[in-house]
Chains A and B, each alone.
Chain A
């Protein structure tokens, strides 16, 4: 009946559904093309130019890429610093998120309050949090060194000490474990109870339950958290911009902050665009690597069922 009516108006039902579908997504589609797709395309082209925003872009071929790789010491320092930050903060953050999610998965009175408390930092403004942590890390009057002093340890200079500035940023990144905790908690609550019951009947202890049920069942969520956290860590900017501006020296000069400096402080848009594309390729490569490696440790229940289907 519906099909007949549609045909009477000259359109098939599928064509009408397609139109409705595209009309429904068109605000996003147009927004994407205008404000994301356009700049992405422009940045590819700009990466092959010298452009200061004020004057006209001048084509320079691969010069920006070659200069970055062969002639810019700060580029390599920023890359190494970023890899250091990602390499330490992501595993630490993921492990801590899992532990907090396990804690928050307990059936105890008032657990919702604890969950809210742990999640609160994730919804706090990045700049406000950064300013708060400047005070926490202050060597003279900061909370952290005051706590260390109570146990007889003389705290370091934190953000003012080249050796401790990056560890301080990594420590601060753990403040945001609440975001990942929520995702992992949802994953934990999706694990069927009967698996644990069966394991208990078979005599499994708590560690064996965790090792052979919780971790495999949670692995797709852990994988998601790992990929997303890695991408986010590579893009660390706000904390560095507000707290250290890359210092002391070059101790916290991270990739996106150096990119920002080139683009908006030195007006080298072409150079900054080339940096953006190199970062994109690094993140893309690493994500592909993570997907490849995930075949060895991520357990998909649905996928397994499909494989076993006769």
Chain B
């Protein structure tokens, strides 16, 4: 039989084959592919003082996993660097010994990759049962339906002691329309760090409690040696969600919040303008802070290089300072964030874990999560290792006692108790607003725009974007 295959027919067959393959590739996979252990990031802290055994939480009032005897496999997504993964594996091993019907399969993403991988998992409907979530991403992901509400578990599980045992401010990050969708494991404020060596050499007393911003400026002046050493590092350059740390002391607010919904900006306020001008003067008038060019010119930045006396410091920075700071462990400490003319306030942020929409075994996932984020779980994972300032009040002492904590670590706790607020914006449109804020404030700090014009521009651009939150 004679048969001639035309070009059109062959192209048609190729298209059909490719189309089939395309559809096949779009079908949801059975499980997310675990990625290999990521390379250790520069700031990766090595867990000091690893506890030898994972904790055994009290079994009372545990909601049993509804698995009816069958063994279920829970998929977990973490962002731990290679050095910290053994702690996680140890916890999982002990958990599986306590719960022989639950197997844990862990995926470790790098932090930056994780935030891009989760949306693709969600699109393919292959979200792991439990995932790490940074406070900056939780609201968009909740709004888009990636997480399950944890309210049924939280209401039933009295032993979990939620919300009483948690700092109240961090919970706002994970709450949407009155329901909690994730639980924080780590949360910390920005306060003041200082290089003891520089103070000692200059015979200047360390920063005191109840210090004001004017006193901070006075200290910074005394400790600045032009071109070699600066008194202060940490101006609101690309301030991200922490702008309130620098402006709030003057009494102004950044974002207008009504019933947990971010509805607009409050930044165009004379108090904020005054605050921004004060900080810009630190750089341009008093010259006590390194310029952006000087910051860029020193590997790791002037603070880590040991050439700055004081700097804004977060609790999650402590392992990095101990490991990479030129001043060396034990030669730096922290003090409270200074008070402004109107009040003492600082921004805070953190991360948590939630059960996803795609979880096939949400009850088993809760069994894991309640132990993972219990007092004993937090102490084992992040407290004693110094990996993070934990979100439970009852577990906080374990982090304060860890080798990573600075001598005056109590000031982090004091901030959480008295004057730390969550950084904003955090809503689904936050990234767009943050970019606007960063663009404008950077220009103020670089001396290229007046604070008055910048805040007016932020309000003009950001208000319509935040108003989108009202359209739900």
A157 contacts B by Cβ under 8 Å: yes
Describe B's contact surface by its main secondary structure.
helix
Contact bitstring A249-281, B, C-beta under 8 A = 1, else 0: 110000000000100111100000000000000
Which residues in window 145-170 of A have CB below 8 A to B?
157, 160-162
Known: A247-B439, A249-B448. A30 touches B292 (CB 8 A): no
Contact bitstring A235-251, B, C-beta under 8 A = 1, else 0: 00000000000111110
Nearest CB in chain A: distance from B138 CB, A: 13
Contact bitstring B95-126, A, C-beta under 8 A = 1, else 0: 00000000000000000000010011011000
- Complexed CA–CA distance, A264 and B4 (Å): 48
- A11 contact from B3, B10, B17, B431, Cβ within 8 A: B3
Closest to B116 in A: A264
Which residues in window 274-321 of B have CB below 8 A to A?
291-294, 296-297
- B3 contact from A10, A247, A249, Cβ within 8 A: A10
Count of inter-chain pairs, beta carbons less than 8 A: 104
- Complexed CA–CA distance, A151 and B193 (Å): 42
A138 CB contacts on chain B under 8 angstroms: 293, 296-297
Q: Is A250 within 8 A of B25, CB to CB?
A: no
Report which residue of A18, A30, A53 has the largest number of chain B beta carbons within 10 angstroms of its beta carbon. A53
- B22 contact from A7, A19, A38, A54, Cβ within 8 A: A38
Q: Is A34 within 8 A of B22, CB to CB?
A: yes
Chain A interface size, as a band, is 35 or more
Q: Is B18 within 8 A of A54, CB to CB?
A: no
Known: A34-B21, A53-B122, A73-B461. A19 touches B10 (CB 8 A): yes
A126 contacts B by Cβ under 8 Å: no
Q: Is B297 within 8 A of A54, CB to CB?
A: no
Closest to B21 in A: A34
Nearest CB in chain A: distance from B418 CB, A: 34
For B, the interface residue count at a CB cutoff of 8 angstroms equals 46
Known: A18-B5, A162-B448. A139 touches B293 (CB 8 A): yes
A285 CB contacts on chain B under 8 angstroms: none
Nearest CB in chain B: distance from A278 CB, A: 19
A248 CB contacts on chain B under 8 angstroms: 442-443, 446, 448
Contact bitstring B355-396, A, C-beta under 8 A = 1, else 0: 000000000000000000000000000000000000000000
A54 CB contacts on chain B under 8 angstroms: 119, 122-123, 141, 144-146
- Complexed CA–CA distance, A247 and B435 (Å): 10
A205 contacts B by Cβ under 8 Å: no
A26 contacts B by Cβ under 8 Å: yes
Q: Is B2 within 8 A of A7, CB to CB?
A: yes
A246 CB contacts on chain B under 8 angstroms: 439
B residues with CB within 8 A of A:
1-7, 10-11, 14-15, 17-19, 21-22, 25, 116, 119-120, 122-123, 140-141, 144-146, 291-294, 296-297, 429, 431-432, 435, 438-440, 442-443, 446, 448-449, 461
Q: What are some 18 contacts across the A-B interface (CB < 8 A)?
A: A22-B10, A29-B18, A30-B17, A33-B14, A33-B19, A38-B18, A38-B22, A52-B119, A52-B140, A54-B141, A55-B144, A73-B461, A138-B296, A138-B297, A140-B296, A246-B439, A248-B446, A265-B431
